[in-house]
Amino acid sequence: MKLTICTIGELLVEFLAKKENQGFSSPGEFWGPFPSGAPAIFADQVAKLGLGSVLFSCIGNDAFGEMNMARLARDGVCIEGISVLPNTTTGSAFVSYRNQTQRDFIFNMANSACGLLTADNVDEQLLSNCQHFHIMGSSLFSFRMIDAMRKAIENVKSRNGTVSFDPNIRKEMLNIPVMLQAFEYILDYTDIFLPSDSELEYFGLAKSRDEPLMIERLLSRGIKHVVIKRGPLGASYYNQQSSYHAPAYEAKVVDPTGAGDCFGATFVSLFLSGYPPEQALEYANASGSLAISRRGPMEGTSTLAEITAYMACNPHPGVEN
Amino acid sequence: MKLTICTIGELLVEFLAKKENQGFSSPGEFWGPFPSGAPAIFADQVAKLGLGSVLFSCIGNDAFGEMNMARLARDGVCIEGISVLPNTTTGSAFVSYRNQTQRDFIFNMANSACGLLTADNVDEQLLSNCQHFHIMGSSLFSFRMIDAMRKAIENVKSRNGTVSFDPNIRKEMLNIPVMLQAFEYILDYTDIFLPSDSELEYFGLAKSRDEPLMIERLLSRGIKHVVIKRGPLGASYYNQQSSYHAPAYEAKVVDPTGAGDCFGATFVSLFLSGYPPEQALEYANASGSLAISRRGPMEGTSTLAEITAYMACNPHPGVEN
C-alpha cells in the first residue's frame, strides 16, 4: 500500500515584494498571486515525491482559491479535504525581504477561509487513509485549528501512525497566545520534530542556547527523531543512538520562502519510505536548495527525479557523523 | 463654522494588476499597496477641498494600516475616528481591469479590521461635529456596519443635518443579502442620492429601464437631489423643479477606480458649501477626470486649486438644462 501523509492548515496566495526592503508602507511592485501556505507546500512536495498526500484546508469561492485547488490537483495532492466556504475570502500573505534570510509578512489568515477550518472539515474517511500526519506550528492560530489537529492526531495515532511537527514560527504570529500552548501539546505526540536552529529556543526545555542539551531533553521527553534545519549550514539528524550532519548544497538564493517546507516534506516522505536518515537528510537538503532557487513559495517543489538530478549535478558535500 | 462631513466604512489597501485581463488565477505583477476604500477616498477628497472630514473606520496593527492613517492625516482627514483593532489585519482589495471600465475584485473586507467596525467605534463627540453624513453602499456588508450607519444618521438628522448615499455597488458584493435590505432603509433618509446610471435598476421602484420614470419616483419618495454619474457621458442633476446635464471632460483613462468617489465628494462638498448644482456638477466632473488620470484609487484626489486649474486648461463642455 502506498504511504499516505496528511496535513492540515493554511492554504493561501502569496504576494512577493519585488525589491529588498520594499516593505508595505508605500506603493511598490509585487509578484503574485502564488499558491502558498506552509502545509500546502508540504503537501505539494509530498505528492511530487509520489506518496499519497491529503491536505485539509478551506478556501473562499474566488479565483485565488480556484488557482490553489487547480495547482494542488495538478501536482497530485488529494484535494477532497479542501472545503469551499461561502462568504469568505481565500487567505493571503504579503512578503517583503529585508535580505536573503529576513523577511516581513502581513497575513490575511486567521479570518480568511482557511482560518475558519474546524474539526468538522477534517473528514474521518479521508483521514483513515493516512499513516502519517504532519502539522506546522504556523497553522495553530485558533482553537478551531487546534481541535482539528487533535482530531487528526488521535485518528492517526490510534492506527499506530506517526506525527511530524515543524514549528515554522513567524514573528508576526507570536502574539497569538493559543499558539504557544498548542506547541506544548503537540510535542507530546511528535515522532519527528523539524525545527530550524533559531526556533529551538522557543521549546524552552533548556533556558539556554546549549543546543546539545536542548536536543537531549527533546529526545528524552519521547521525540524519536529531531531534525534541525540550519539554512546555509545544512541540516542535522538526532535520535537516541546516533546523529548525522549534512552540509547544504551551494545554491543561488532567489526566494527562500517554502524551502523549509520542501526540506521537511522530503525528509519525512523519504524517511518514512525507508531511506536511512543520513540519506533522507541529503535529499531534503537538495530539495530545499531547489526550492530557494525558484521564485514563488510553492514553485520550488520537486519530483524525486529532479532532486536526484540536482544531486548528480552539484558538488556533494557528504554527511558527517 | 466650517462644514464637516463624516463617513463610515471600509479603509483598505489596494493591489492593482499591471496588465488588462491579468486576473487572479496565475502569478503576475501588481502595483500596491495603495490607500483605498471608497469611503476613505471620499473622506480624503472632502478634506482636500478644505471642508472638515471625519472618517470612522478600523485598521489592523500593521504596516498597511499605518500607511493609510499617515496618508489620510497628511491630506487633512480627522483620523480620530479610526480605531486600531488588535489581532486583525487591515482590509485589502485586489483589482484587475478587463478593459477601461470593467474590473474584477477580490476583497478581504468583511473579515478584516474595517469589517469588524461596530456602532461603538463611532464616537458621539466626533459625530456631533458633523453636519452631513455620507454612506457608500459598498460599506453595508454587515449588521454591525448597518448599526453604525444608523447611529450616524440618527445623530446627524437629529441636528437637522443631511445625508448622501452612493450605492457604489460591486458585483462581488451582491451576494450579501443584508446589503440590499440596507439600501431600502438608507433611501428613506437620503437627501442627495448619487447612483451611477447602471446602478439605477437596483433601486427597483420601476421595473424598467425607463430612467425619467425612475428618477421621478426617487424624487417623489422624498429624495431631494438625484445626481447620476454617467462615466464618459458626464453627469446629471435632478430635483423636483429642475435638471442639468454636464458632459464629461475628455480625459486619458489610467485607473478609473476612485473616480466616482472623488466625483461624489466634490459634488457634495461644493453643493453643501453653496455652489449651485450645475456648477457643483462641473467641478465634480473635473474632479472625476483628474482621478482617472492617476494610478491608484486615492492618488487621484485633488484640491480645489487643482480642479480649478484643470477646468481652466481643458475644453469646457458646458452645462445643458
Q: A216-240, pLDDT tens digit by residue?
A: 999 999 999 999 999 999 999 999 9
Q: Is A207 a residue whose pLDDT tops 70?
A: no
Instruction: Please provide the DSSP assignment of B187-241 as one string.
Output: HTT-SEE--BGGGGGGS-SSSSS-HHHHHHHHHHTT--EEEEE-GGG-EEEE-SS
Please compute the mean of the pLDDT values over residues A61-71 and round it to a whole number. 97
Residue A212 CB neighbours (<10 A): 10
Higher pLDDT, A102 or A228: A228
Pick the residue from chain B with its C-alpha nearest to A113. B111
| Helix locations, chain A, DSSP H | 38-48, 63-74, 124-127, 143-158, 177-187, 211-220, 259-272, 277-292, 304-313
This prediction has a pTM of 0.85
Which of A32, A66, A70 is opposite residue B30, by nearest beta carbon? A32
Q: What percent of chain A has pLDDT over 90?
A: 79
Please compute the mean of the pLDDT values over residues A113-137 and round it to a whole number. 96
Q: Is A154 a residue whose pLDDT tops 90?
A: yes
pLDDT at res. A166: 97
CB contact under 8 A, A112 and B107: no
Contacts of B18 in chain A (CB under 8 A): 29
Choosing among A26, A71, A87, A141, which should be mutated to test the B contact, i.e. which has the most B CBs within 10 A? A26
Choosing among B64, B84, B89, B114, which should be mutated to test the A contact, i.e. which has the most A CBs within 10 A? B89
Q: Do the domain assignments include residue A126?
A: yes
- State chain B's mean pLDDT as an integer: 92
Lowest pLDDT segment from A48-52, B69-73, B260-264, B313-317: B313-317
Q: Is B182 a residue whose pLDDT tops 90?
A: no
Please compute the mean of the pLDDT values over residues A35-45 and round it to a whole number. 97
What is the residue range of A286's domain?
A: 4-10+37-86+111-313
Q: A254-295, pLDDT tens digit by residue?
A: 988 899 999 999 999 999 999 999 999 999 999 999 999 999
Please compute the mean of the pLDDT values over residues A62-83 and round it to a whole number. 97
Q: Do the domain assignments include residue A139?
A: yes
Q: Do the domain assignments include residue B321?
A: no
CA of B167, closest CA in chain A: separation in Å? 20
pLDDT at res. A319: 76
Chain A contact for B62, CB < 8 A?
Answer: yes
Q: What is the CATH number of the domain that holds B296?
A: 3.40.1190.20
Q: B61-86, pLDDT tens digit by residue?
A: 999 999 999 999 999 999 999 999 99
Domain count, chain A: 1
Which of B30, B70, B112 is opposite residue A15, by nearest beta carbon? B30
Q: What percent of chain B has pLDDT over 70?
A: 96
Which of B29, B64, B175 is opposite residue A106, by nearest beta carbon? B64
Please compute the mean of the pLDDT values over residues B216-242 and round it to a whole number. 95
Please compute the mean of the pLDDT values over residues B213-227 and round it to a whole number. 94
Contacts of B109 in chain A (CB under 8 A): 89
DSSP state of A78: B
Rounded CA separation B88/B84 (Å): 9
Lowest pLDDT segment from A81-90, B53-62, B176-185: B176-185
Contacts of B296 in chain A (CB under 8 A): 27
Q: Would you give the distance in Å from CA B27 to the centre of its chain?
A: 30
Q: Is B205 a residue whose pLDDT tops 60?
A: no
CA of B299, closest CA in chain A: separation in Å? 11
Q: Do the domain assignments include residue B236?
A: yes
The model's confidence at residue B225, banded by pLDDT at 50, 70 and 90, is: very high
The model's confidence at residue A100, banded by pLDDT at 50, 70 and 90, is: confident
Chain A contact for B296, CB < 8 A?
Answer: yes
Chain A contact for B141, CB < 8 A?
Answer: no
Q: Do the domain assignments include residue A15?
A: no
Pick the residue from chain A with its C-alpha nearest to B66. A25
Lowest pLDDT segment from A17-21, A315-319, B81-85, B245-249: A315-319
Please compute the mean of the pLDDT values over residues B301-317 and round it to a whole number. 91
Q: Do the domain assignments include residue B320?
A: no
Please compute the mean of the pLDDT values over residues B132-138 and round it to a whole number. 96
Chain A contact for B185, CB < 8 A?
Answer: no
Q: Is B157 a residue whose pLDDT tops 80?
A: yes
Which of B24, B90, B176 is opposite residue A33, by nearest beta carbon? B24
Please compute the mean of the pLDDT values over residues B53-59 and round it to a whole number. 98
3-class DSSP state of A280: helix
- State chain A's mean pLDDT as an integer: 92
pLDDT at res. A208: 64
The model's confidence at residue B179, banded by pLDDT at 50, 70 and 90, is: confident
Q: Do the domain assignments include residue B51?
A: yes
Residue with cell 474546524: A118
Give ∠ CA A218-A221-A223 in degrees, rounded to 5.
60
- The H or E element that residue B17 is part of is strand B12-17
Q: B243-297, pLDDT tens digit by residue?
A: 999 999 998 899 888 999 999 999 999 999 999 999 999 999 999 999 999 999 9
Q: Do the domain assignments include residue A21?
A: no
Chain B contact for A63, CB < 8 A?
Answer: yes
CB contact under 8 A, A108 and B106: no
Instruction: Please provide the DSSP assignment of A88-108 as one string.
Output: ---EEEEEEESSSS-EEEEEE
Please compute the mean of the pLDDT values over residues A162-185 and round it to a whole number. 82
Contacts of B90 in chain A (CB under 8 A): 106
Chain B contact for A105, CB < 8 A?
Answer: no
Q: A126-145, pLDDT tens digit by residue?
A: 999 999 999 999 999 888 99
